[in-house]
Amino acid sequence: MTLKVLHILDATNRGGAEMLTLDVCRNARNAGLDLTFVATGGGDLEREFERSGAPYFRLQRRLPIDPVLVKNLRRIIKQTGAQIVHAQQAVEAIHLYLATRGTGVKCVMSLQAYILDTKNRIATKMIVPRMDAVCPVSASMQEWYRSGEGFTITDKYHVLANGVDAARLGPTRKPGTPSLREELGISDDRALLGMVGNFYPDERKDQWSICRALTAIFAQHPNAHFVFVGAVHDGAEDYHRRCVEHCRDNGIADRVHFVGKRGDIPDLLRELDLFIFSTVQEGLPVAAVEALMLGVPMIVSDIPPMLEVGGAHARTFVRRGVQNGQCRRPCRKGDRPVEQP
């Protein structure tokens, strides 16, 4: 019997959760799933979702809790015969919950990240107990919801790690298209380090600590270059500018490259000699999993989810408030990482 599932995202921008969902849409049929995908906003990956093989519906949320969206979701759920609906975030989960009342359809929610603000904390604490299943993306994420947020972990919790479709990591660059090194004028005898991660207003991705460390790194490795790959989200313009200006003011701007959002991440990762992932908080980062699958050496922040990705022998950045891989408190903006062997 084919399982009928509806999956919803708030947008189709390029990011870890979006790439994860796109992988699922592309492989659903071969896995025995009849999957329908719904987005309540557009983005760079919208065309990719349209071509993924999963039926695609584009809706719009006009209010924090939108009755029209609930009505449209209920119509699509009935039309597709969905047996399970799945959301990545609290607001989408609330709309699915309201749309499925009285239908017998099961609701599932993933826990991808820490709760970042009061609004999302209230929404998450309201909707999680009403889900039929809750899927933290790492064991440490589940532990944080228990110890940091006071959630009661029951048998409806199931750790479901983020995965990556290996087929998507194949070469994508067309013949005659320049490589990243060629674009930037970096010869093959120069070391190329890099990070893949968007710039967010809350600075959850910690590009700032890398920028501060690069002066010392370049002093020891005078031929090295660093590349930051990732979009600048609305509200993160000042954070991005601070990173760029720090590199300029310290005389390293010619060796630090901010290339923005890219669609050729697997090709870029293959060109790196070292992947560095400095982050304040994570669920289970897709970019780090991709780098690991491609065999790129990594240095990561010493927070529990990153240790789940890299294993006990990963080189790490140690943060104040972290001991033996366990957070005494959630890592916060402003924590200063120092490298350890």
What integer is the mean pLDDT of 38-53?
95
pLDDT for res 310: 65
From 109, 135, 163, the end of a domain falls on: 163
Q: What is the pLDDT of residue 311?
A: 62
Strand ranges in the chain using DSSP code E only, listed in sequence order: 3-9, 33-39, 56-58, 84-87, 106-111, 133-136, 192-196, 225-229, 256-260, 274-277, 298-301, 315-318, 322-323, 326-327, 338-340
Query: Whole-prediction pTM value?
Result: 0.82
The predicted model gives 281-295 an average pLDDT of 90
Lowest mean pLDDT among 209-218, 285-294, 303-312: 303-312
- Domain finish residue from 143, 163, 183: 163
Do residue 204 and residue 288 come from a single domain? yes
Q: Do 70 and 180 lie in a common domain?
A: no
Output 143 or 306, whichever has higher pLDDT. Answer: 143
Question: Whole-number mean pLDDT of the chain?
Answer: 89
- Do 194 and 218 share a domain, yes or no? yes
Q: What is the pLDDT of residues 89-135, one digit of tens each?
A: 999 999 999 999 999 999 999 998 887 788 889 999 999 999 999 99
Q: Is the pLDDT of residue 324 over 50?
A: no
Whether 195 and 330 map to the same domain: the answer is yes
- Predicted local confidence at residue 305, as pLDDT: 86
Q: What range defines the domain where residue 287 resides?
A: 172-340
The answer to whether residue 181 scores a pLDDT higher than 60 is yes
* SS3 state at 38: strand
Q: How far is CA 300 from the centre of its chain?
A: 15
CATH code, domain carrying 108: 3.40.50.2000
